[in-house]
Amino acid sequence: MSVKSAESPGAPALTVKGADTRQRIVAAAARLMFERGVTGTTMEQVRAAAQVSSSQIYHYFVDKQALVHAVVEYQNETVVGGQELTLADLDKPAGLRAWFDFLIADQHRRGHRGCPVGLLAGELADLDPGARTGVGAAFTRWEEGIRAAFRDMYRRGELPVNVDADGLATATLAAVQGALLLTKVRRTTEPLEQTRDMLLDHVARLTESAVRAVGTRVPGPGARVPASGV
């Protein structure tokens, strides 16, 4: 049995064993690059951590840049993809709190080292256009999960008509990324906890304002509701 390689659309299919080996290499590289940075991680260190031979690494990745791009994709799936179930409930106060609690617990697990996606962005955005595109896709996916929740709240009349739901989603992700960076620098989750409390208070105030509003609500530009109304 074989599976398609994630290296490139035209890459040959991998056996199940080959896909497992490739995934082990990427996971090891992701762990090292998160702890030491991309420039501080060598292919030899990845080889040792993954417990593979040099020929195996270069069989799957022509060079370090190719491996870095695979790490970006891996972090997209693990960091952002791993939050999608939590983000699905973000349109409720309890869900918003649960999302922050998830992020806080994740930082404790990671030793208060910040966001793997954000750290890749900071190191690679000006050096590797391909990596920047990959990191951008991860942030877009993350933002879309937040945006969907705020749009749902807007449609239900839980946000004021003059609120830009999409802008609120962008500001939320920006605040979270800033808090994660401070968490890394200060080695404490207090910035995340403070961001959680302020955002919960802000959303609660917006909801209260919407409830007090009188008259028929007309969807504003922030909702960007599709023509079908779906």
pLDDT band at 212 (very low <50, low <70, confident <90, very high): confident
pLDDT tens, position by position, 112-157? 999 999 999 999 999 999 999 999 999 999 999 999 999 999 999 9
Q: Are 209 and 157 in contact (CB under 8 A)?
A: no
Whole-number Å distance between alpha carbons of 228 and 35: 47
This prediction's pTM: 0.85
Whole-number Å distance between alpha carbons of 90 and 79: 17
What does the pLDDT read at residue 85? 92
pLDDT tens, position by position, 62-81? 999 999 999 999 999 999 99
What does the pLDDT read at residue 12? 56
Structure token pair of residue 134: 């990959």
